[in-house]
Structure 1
């Protein structure tokens, strides 16, 4: 596998911190959420970064390559357009599923795929489809999870290794997600790092979170804790990562704190370079450790590091095809595997968002925790997309109470913007809010965005009767 283009140390670009990002010292690159930018109308702050030579990488969140269905051609085309518009050296996505087609359900969140042969076959074919459609190389991120699937056949390391071997896809390793899965699923981050092909590493994510009730929540809204920086050092002791990026999506701190977190990340990467030099000077220290020893050795033991990634002509250049990989080793007809994966994902997602029984073998407590987290995230995202709604309903708490009552048993099927309109219509059908002035404001808000009048009284009665019958 050819070395990946060197990126350096970067930060996730978000509109809320756009001005601060422009002033951050020593910033090498940024990552943007692909679905949040329009190729023909890029934000001025992002264009200024590009003009001064800062690289921009689009990071997708909605493809759902781990889902049972083949990738949506329109979503793939949209991701490719953003890569070209941004002059990106690669695009990234997640090893996750986000929706089901039968029934039509949207998670609004990245959910883990089972580490089974069926799921791996489906994922590999979906990745190959995506690679053929994209104009630049693709890298996939390991995700954080609150729960495990029953009956898994592969470890995380085995799953990722075979994925790379069968598709040639790059890896985006999130060390914060490794910590999350250590707390939530009892997985050993060092074993994962020892088991995966680090020569396939595209770059690294670093982020903060918080532990509540024995569950680690990957919030991207808290400072990066020392335990995550320790995992970055663990990874750095094994390989010189082409890039490292700080993610922050909410509760943004002052500019000085962002700069301080980036400095801490850069210090870990730089210290790893110094240890690598010392190991090279000492032949005994440079001898590779065994897999078992590497899993338990402290960072200071300094195992051999890979050679620093260098810029290679034709790699990561927009408009060039991704590196060819060996033909995927699918186990016969893929359709039965897709059907089995679809049934399992539909049963799980229905339990999470529609209140159906939890499938056999899952930890019911963890599934309830995940269901509450999905509902809370759904309420928060709708409030960000439609900030007028909390104001109309009297503030954050009344809005949240009303939205969670609406969401119970009403799964999202067409994205967050449609969800906001459906929520408003749900309230109006029930003659809510009770205050006539607030109801008039909500009606005007709904009409402006839905392009039609709210349903009349007869229609509202009919829908209410249908809802009761259901």
Structure 2
């Protein structure tokens, strides 16, 4: 299936996306969609024949735990609601702790890298098979950007992805911006990764912007796409004509004309690529009989055999022989991931072998992102606290890991301040108290209560 050129659909730019010319498909964050109701903008796009692909961010398939059945059911429901040709997720872990380690559960609020070890690969493959069996359409997985790397890794990124495809038949979503990020931050060569991975398994490609600060590349999705990222796209295009390419933007949204300009740059990069042999020109455009081009010929893309036409790890990046699986891979992975995440979000000592400076950078980045998302889901908090919101939240986040999602995090932060008799301004403290009580109580306040509070707050400001 040829997807063509697409853009990430976000509510903030829904009108701009609808107005863009030449958009063949869009991608929507699965967790931001209601299970039984589509935003009007997506309904209109579907009526125009624009395909919609749900992009998951919360499964944590690279984690030690098996995939949560509720999250899988929710992702499956959104795929069916959208009539999607496939669903996508990430090769990452997003939570740790819990029963496997007999410790409190921890949430990262971010995609964190999986160690490229045989243990982690074994666990990931099993998790992927569980997900494939639970989804009504094929699954594609995305490589992620990283600020840190695990010590004692046994496989390169390309080898790891090739082994994953070989063992599960899963498709790949290759993010060229993430390959560039890992080049700057970790010294990994994007060309080598592309040489090693099975490009025949690519379902589509992500392109996104970022920014470099103090020698570290931050994959922000809030800046324009840079020339080096387009260079990686050109490298990929020299090997394969990808079935689809999508522009991602998640924040600091520019006018529609700027988005159109970035899409034009992507098109120009693809069009400037070489003429490839017919066998490599479009890996998903010639499916086997009864196949949808994204997996096995049964139309589900499930099972352990490779996609049609996909070889094993390429000779340029042949992985070392896989050792015989050892029992306890999940338990070992659980312990190591919990130790890392605890160091990042709870201030515990850094695990042995990690770069302490990079861990501090990653920890700060997680806290900043957490503050930004809390400000979005609870915009009243920065309004009440003003300039004091961000420093107060960052101080709170140093020792208070997130464990129940961002809305719970906002409530816990407000409670933390109130227990400490903060903020110092009595009016702001009273407003924060009301905000917290309104949301923590069993019933919301009535209209009369809200009017009385507003009047008292107005008098207090005089």
**Would the TM-score normalized by the shorter structure come out above 0.5?**
yes
Aligned to 2:61: 65
Aligned to 1:387: 379
TM-score in terms of structure 2 length: 0.87
Q: Does 1:421 align with 2:421?
A: no
What is the alpha-carbon distance in structure 2 between the residues aligned to residue 448 and residue 242 of structure 1? 49
- Whether the 8 Å contact between 1:237 and 1:305 is mirrored in structure 2 is no
Aligned to 2:13: 17
Q: What are structure 1's unaligned runs of at least 5 residues?
A: 281-303, 454-470
**After the TM superposition, which of the residue ranges 432-441 and 308-317 deviates more from structure 2?**
308-317
Aligned residues: 421
Aligned to 2:370: 378
Measure how far apart 1:437 and its partner are. Answer: 2.2
- Map 1:273-284 onto structure 2 (within 5 A): 275-276=274-275
Measure how far apart 1:268 and its partner are. Answer: 1.3
Q: Does 1:409 align with 2:399?
A: yes
Measure how far apart 1:309 and its partner are. Answer: 3.5
Aligned to 2:355: 363
- Whether the 8 Å contact between 2:377 and 2:407 is mirrored in structure 1 is yes
- Map 1:83-162 onto structure 2 (within 5 A): 83-100=79-96, 101=98, 102-162=103-163
Aligned-residue CA RMSD (Å): 2.2
Which secondary structure does the structure 2 equivalent of 1:434 belong to? coil
Aligned to 1:298: none
- Whether the 8 Å contact between 1:121 and 1:331 is mirrored in structure 2 is no
What is the alpha-carbon distance in structure 2 between the residues aligned to residue 326 and residue 16 of structure 1? 41
Per-residue CA distance 1:357-414 (angstroms, 9 max, x = gap): 1111100000000000001111010001100100111x2x310011112112111111
- Whether the 8 Å contact between 2:343 and 2:350 is mirrored in structure 1 is yes
Aligned to 2:434: 444
Aligned to 1:299: none
1:315 maps to which of 275, 288, 292: 292
What is the alpha-carbon distance in structure 2 between the residues aligned to residue 349 and residue 260 of structure 1? 39
Aligned to 1:325: 304
Per-residue CA distance 1:16-45 (angstroms, 9 max, x = gap): 000000000100000001100112121101
What is the alpha-carbon distance in structure 1 between the residues aligned to residue 2 and residue 227 of structure 2? 25
- Whether the 8 Å contact between 1:60 and 1:92 is mirrored in structure 2 is yes
Aligned to 2:73: 77
Q: Does 1:306 align with 2:306?
A: no
Measure how far apart 1:433 and its partner are. Answer: 1.9
Aligned to 2:332: 340
1:41 maps to which of 18, 37, 48: 37
What is the alpha-carbon distance in structure 2 between the residues aligned to residue 330 and residue 126 of structure 1? 18
- Whether the 8 Å contact between 2:165 and 2:171 is mirrored in structure 1 is yes
Measure how far apart 1:450 and its partner are. Answer: 1.5
